[in-house]
Structure 1
């Protein structure tokens, strides 16, 4: 049968509740906001095609979804498969695409009674808005709202367990079985025994394959030491690009001689190109005042990142010690920007890597330059050194990386035609090294080496970037 005719036939056989279930099980791949526009199975299939999860020669994900929602009739009649075949297939390493956590939540929704659901909603009245707990709201929707509010995550089942313990012990048992299965399957040497659920990825085949396949234990250990980066998109890449400082010159007397940041658009274009290849959704804003920078940061702090694995923020502007400038010349604390995304302030990013790249001078040492400008608050013909690089710019919390363009006694250079030394080198090395599977700290080390070798031939100036981080695992940006 023709591929799209087959999909149409399957869509005709799916009920409304089936579509809801399929969308929920696909949340790790299709973000919630995109799902809101999906009203029928055909639209869902199209979205899966766009993500490369549904192809003419590869119907494995569709088969898995139908198996998970127990539509064995469609699986058998239209796809010539069976429940036994799917059970065997999903034991193959890497074959299952629906996470065990997502499937657990779906199973809970399938096993909850109408009365228990009413009680479940009642116990959440202090945590969720009343409009999210109407009688028509399904259990799946309640679980989604809990995820959005940071009340529920694979590493955070406490509230869910507490409620289920009060209402239905059989639901609690399913959660405990999930936790036990996750914890028992993985023992990572060198970490004092078993690791918690947050320290490993979903691979229920680990124990068996570790015995059957030589070297598999080392592979499992390596995966446990890496951040999960398999959602598509991986996350948001927020680019704040300040070029026009006309307002600053007009409103701040001490900034009368500050020129526009010519060449910054070259940096922004490079960041767009590279992070698009790395499967990030690009959000770019240009020429923001200090207030607008805060508003934009807060907007992305408050959004739901549950469907993403990472967050990246790139800020290109003039700066001074510990701050970046808005186009109105007003200051914005780098520390305030980064701490907006701590686990307390942005629960949906808790346990996930938060990466910041700041292109802005951070010091008060000057040298003369002619064709190369500086991202400083001083005269456009001078070069500013980062005399007081402040590590407190990075939050005192795990999973942060802050890449600064400069460090103590070094200046930050920007070509008016080719962009900045730092951002251009960063993008070049990301593009070259990510396909080889190199982690971000190794890449930044290479960036340090390249930038430190560059010279301002006019003033004999040098530049040395410096990353600071609280990452717990290797961060590797995937290409595929």
Structure 2
């Protein structure tokens, strides 16, 4: 009885245009022939039950439909859900039942104005009967008729694109984004299933995006106007590896004279957490990891499915030396080992997406140290200095990587025991100030370089110069 009361309450609250939208979004599940007899919401709910899409203990599809038609009031009042909950729920692979194609068409129907609809009908006067183009015909009605006539389908968008281009470029852009996402998902899915070799994925993704533009070369493709897609919720994972306590290294590794505790690093981790939360990332922090624990953590995120995310960010706060970082046990990890864990070969769900690494660690020996200013390099004896033989090319050759280093090779980076590091604090401040203005990450890192390079350790006459390197193909912007 409670279930029937729930459906009755919803049916009383739904307007006729709501019912039309619900029916349209369900066309892949409830046939058009069956829908033509539905005039009331209760009949629609019954049809969903008959298809196994609605039950007392299964309200997922009903929740999704109400979310898609923006009836958040009904979602909250009758089903105990919310916009935020549904956004998170629909990010889970395979959870959404409304097809991306159907959702695209519904979005177009919502965004077309009354005058544009009249013009759209005029443009279709040769394809559709006049009786289907009268003043009472809605955009949803038009789209259904286009599907019936075979001039609209998941792989047949040419007529729709041509007409939308004549009316409103923003409508055309929505269609093109759908096409690009569909191609990329198909390529990545094939790779997951073993139908495409991993080495082919990046070239095919690149080719799909070039085909999306006007004919030209890669040089044309990389014009300043091209930006990475960045609208998923969340944007992706921001992984923070924060090493503070190095007592174990001091007691267990004889060759290391001293790796001091990194006082102030928690201020950096908190600043990163705050700014990347504002940038719509899901922040995950791990503290005081040994080298092997860092490898294990990175492996877990390498194996994670990032298909519904647009980006991956990893921030490493630790002691370091040339091309390496230290675990809290004093053991070394080449930075390149960590970055290459996320290449298209090893993490296929991030292929074609930006992978961003910020490394707060020294890249050489400590030559200057003040009382209130410390460095992020351990004091190493000559034998360890001689062992700094790791590759200095820390970034993979593959596309779509950005590596932000706190300092250039051979030099130290500075950290206040109370306020955090020069580099991370400057980075977070510039991200917070510049992202709302739409500035791209390379412009932001240039400003960070300028600010940090002007800082000065008066006691030891110390300076610091950060160094970004990248293989990005497009502008990387974090919209708020």
Whose Rg is larger? 2
Q: Confirm or deny: 8 A CA contact 2:438 2:479 kept in the other structure.
A: yes
1:464 paired residue number: 465
Structure 1 residues 464 and 40, CA gap change in structure 2 (3 angstroms) = same
Q: Which runs of 5+ in 2 are unaligned?
A: 1-8, 23-40, 68-74, 76-80, 89-95, 111-137, 147-159
| Distance of aligned partners of 1:270 and 1:396 in 2 relative to their CA distance in 1, 3 Å threshold | same
Is the alpha carbon distance of 1:250 and 1:409 closer, same or farther for their aligned partners in structure 2, counting shifts above 3 Å?
closer
2:240 counterpart SS class: strand
- Matched residue, 2:241: 240
Task: Determine the structure 1 residue equivalent to 2:83.
Answer: 49
Structure 2 residue 141 is the aligned partner of structure 1 residue 83: yes
**RMSD, matched Cα:** 4.5
CA gap 1:329/1:375 in 2 versus in 1, 3 angstroms:
same
Q: How much does 1:5 deviate? A: 4.4
Structure 1 pair 366–185 and aligned structure 2 pair: CA distance change class (3 A)? closer
Whole-Å separation in 1 of the counterparts to 2:243 and 2:349: 28
TM-score scaled by length of structure 2: 0.64
Q: Could you list the per-position Cα deviations for residues 445-472 of structure 1 after superposition, in whole angstroms to 9, with x for gaps in the alignment?
A: 1000000000112111000000111111
Per the alignment, residue 15 of structure 1 pairs with 48
Which aligned pairs between 1:199-210 and structure 2 lie closer than 5 A? none
- List aligned pairs for 1:309-328, cutoff 5 A: 309-328=310-329
Q: 1:283-302, aligned counterparts within 5 Å?
A: 283-302=284-303
Q: Secondary structure at the match of 2:314?
A: strand
- Identify the residue that residue 130 of structure 2 maps to in structure 1: none
Shift of 1:367: 1.4
The CA distance in 1 between the partners of 2:61 and 2:407, in whole Å, is 52
> Secondary structure of the residue that 1:285 maps to in structure 2?
strand
Residues 364, 40 of structure 1: alpha-carbon distance in 2 compared, 3 angstrom cutoff: same
Distance 1:189 1:66 in 2: 28
Tell me how far 1:351 sits from its aligned partner.
Answer: 1.4
Looking at structure 1, the residues matched to 103 and 52 of structure 2 have their Cα atoms a distance apart, in angstroms, of 12
Quote the Cα distance in structure 2 between the aligned partners of 1:471 and 1:66.
Answer: 30
In 1, the alpha carbon distance for the partners of 2:50 and 2:318 equals: 49
2:59 and 2:364 map into 1 onto residues whose CA distance is: 51
Q: Any conservation in 1 of the 2:235–2:280 contact (CA below 8 Å)?
A: yes
Unaligned runs of 5+ in 1: 21-36, 55-60, 109-142, 161-178, 200-220
CA 103–453 in structure 1, closer or farther in 2 if over 3 Å, else same: closer
> What does residue 434 of structure 1 align with?
435
* Contact 1:267-1:419 at 8 Å conserved across structures: yes
Q: Distance in 1 between matches of 2:184 and 2:435?
A: 34
Q: CA 1:65 to 1:360, structure 2 compared with 1: closer, same or farther past 3 Å?
A: closer
CA distance in 1, matches of 2:378, 2:84: 45
> What is the alpha-carbon distance in structure 2 between the residues aligned to residue 253 and residue 63 of structure 1?
61
How far the C-alpha of 1:12 sits from its partner, in A, is 3.3
Preserved contact between residue 363 and residue 411 of structure 2 (Cα < 8 Å):
no
Are the aligned partners of 2:260 and 2:378 in contact in 1 as well (CA < 8 Å)? no
TM-score (norm 1): 0.64
Correspondence 1:318-357 to 2 at 5 A: 318-357=319-358
Q: How far did residue 81 of structure 1 move?
A: 6.3
Q: Is the 8 A contact 1:342 1:397 kept in 2?
A: yes
Secondary structure of the 1:358 match is strand
Paired residues for 1:25-424 under 5 Å:
39-42=60-63, 45=67, 49-50=83-84, 67=102, 82-84=140-142, 91=164, 92-95=168-171, 96=174, 99-100=178-179, 146=190, 186-187=213-214, 191=218, 223=225, 225-255=226-256, 257-378=258-379, 391-408=392-409, 410-424=411-425
Q: Distance in 1 between matches of 2:419 and 2:450?
A: 19
Residue 17 of structure 1, CA deviation: 10
Q: How much has 1:183 moved relative to structure 2? A: 6.5
TM-superposed deviation, 1:49: 2.1
Give the distance between the partners of 2:12 and 2:474, measured in 1 at CA.
42
Q: Is the 8 A contact 2:191 2:348 kept in 1?
A: no
Task: Give 1:478 shift.
Answer: 1.3
Residues 4-48 of structure 1 show CA distances to partners (whole Å, capped at 9, x for unaligned) of 94389599367379898xxxxxxxxxxxxxxxx984422673678
Q: CA deviation at 1:474?
A: 1.1
